[in-house]
Every structure is written in C-alpha cells, then in structure tokens.
Structure 1
Amino acid sequence: MKFVIVLVALFALASARPTDDVAKDVRNVEPENYNYELETSNGISLKEEGVLKNAGSEHEAIVVHGSYSWVDEKTGEKFTVNYVADENGFQPSGAHLPVAPQ
C-alpha cells in the first residue's frame, strides 16, 4: 500500500512539472511596478511602492518609496520612518532619526 502511495505522489509531482515553454515564459517576464500595504494588530504598519526606472538601459534601476511605523510599548509613542531606495542607496528619514551635518 505504501508503495502505491509513493508511486502516485511521484507521478503527480512529475505531471505538475512545467514544460520548458512555460518556464521560458516565466523567466522572460519583465519586472513591473509593485506596491503593498500591511498593518498588524500591534500597531506595526508597512507601505511600499517600487517602480522600474530607465528600463532596458545601462542605468536601469528600481526606485522604491515607502514607510514603516511602530508604537513604542513603554511610552505609546508612534515612530515612522519614510524612505527612498534607489541607485543612491537606502535613504531613511524620520523625526526621531539623527540628521548628518551638511
């Protein structure tokens, strides 16, 4: 009986394998814009949007704008970090973050 179950499972796995044409199509999918939002019951929230910039050029880059926030459990204070991530790196900003001198 165990042999039959293993055999059926292997057959199902082999049947579910995508063909080369399908795999080729998936690999050739161009990146698209994306966005998402998430909020948890304990006050954590995330929001992010990404856009492909200069597609197909030598200077192609993904530009991401987003923010995340949380509530300090001890003080109840809400903290928020806004950020941009692009060809210049990750650039966060927030009222509670130190700022480098000019």
Structure 2
Amino acid sequence: MKVLIIIAFISCLSVEFAASLTPADPIIPIISQDQDVSFDGSYRTAFESANGIRFQEQGVLKNPGNKDAEAEEVQGVVSYKAPDGTPIQLSYLANENGFQPQGAHLPVAPVDDNTPPPIPLAILRSLEYNAAHPEPKPFRR
C-alpha cells in the first residue's frame, strides 16, 4: 500500500514538473532551411518558418589575402508580419561602410537636407521622462 502511495505521489510530481516545462507560446516549425559554406569563406543561408518568417543571407570575403583591403560583405533580407498584421521586409548590406538597412517601415530623412528623421513618439517620451527623473548619483566618500 505504501508503495502505491509513493508511486502515485511521484507520478503527480512528474506530471506537474512536465507541465511547467511546456512553453507558453506554441513551437513554430521550420518548413525549409538551406545552408552552404564554401572553402573560400563565402556562405549562403536561408530559412522559412510556418508563421511566415523568411530569412536569406549571403556573405563573402572581399580581397582575401590583402590585409589592407580585406573586408567582409554580407547581404540579406528578412520578412515577417508585425503584430498588427503589417508586412515588414528589411534588406541590408553590411561591409566596410557599415550596416546599411533598407525597408519601407524605417524612418528616413528628407532628401533635400541633412536633418535626421523625426524621433519616434515613444522614444521621445522616454527621453523626456529620463530627463525629468534623473538617477541619483552614487554615494562617494
């Protein structure tokens, strides 16, 4: 009888432990994936998930062996739907000139002058709050 009680107790604990390990969000399967890495250091990778996320990237080492002109160059594109359902597509190029993203959802400066794009409202409010509520300075002796 004691053995049955112990087994029942352990079973309840294991079921509760297993339930605590399940993720809150469903697992999204990968429906396609491709990777290729060459001996020269160039590569290509891509994947697509069941929830519509797509990613492609390729990279190459430019001017290999010439230490003064050697540079990595990576091109890619990622697309997904924003929480509000808006389709997002971000293309990018990263090389010796830095990271250069492009997408219709990114703010851009007017072409006719060098003014930066406007600060998003949420960031502006955060900056104003931080300015109005500075952190206390640490105590120093």
> What does residue 79 of structure 1 align with?
88
> What does residue 100 of structure 2 align with?
91
Q: How does 1:1-102 map to 2 (within 5 A)?
A: 31-57=40-66, 58-74=68-84, 76-101=85-110, 102=114
Residues 14-62 of structure 1 deviation map (CA, whole Å, 9 limit, x = unaligned): xxxxxxxxxxxxxxxx652100111111111110000110111111111
How many angstroms does 1:100 deviate by?
3.0
Q: Where is the strand percentage greater, Structure 1 or Structure 2?
A: 1
What TM-score results when the alignment is normalised by the length of structure 1?
0.64
Q: Calculate percent identity across the aligned residue pairs.
A: 47
Q: Where do 5+ consecutive residues of structure 1 fail to align? A: 1-29
- Report runs of 4+ in structure 1 exceeding 2 Å deviation: none
Quote the Cα distance in structure 2 between the aligned partners of 1:31 and 1:99.
37
Q: Where do 5+ consecutive residues of structure 2 fail to align? A: 1-38, 115-141
Q: CA RMSD in A?
A: 1.5
Larger radius of gyration: 2
> What does residue 12 of structure 2 align with?
none
State the SS of the aligned residue for 2:74: strand
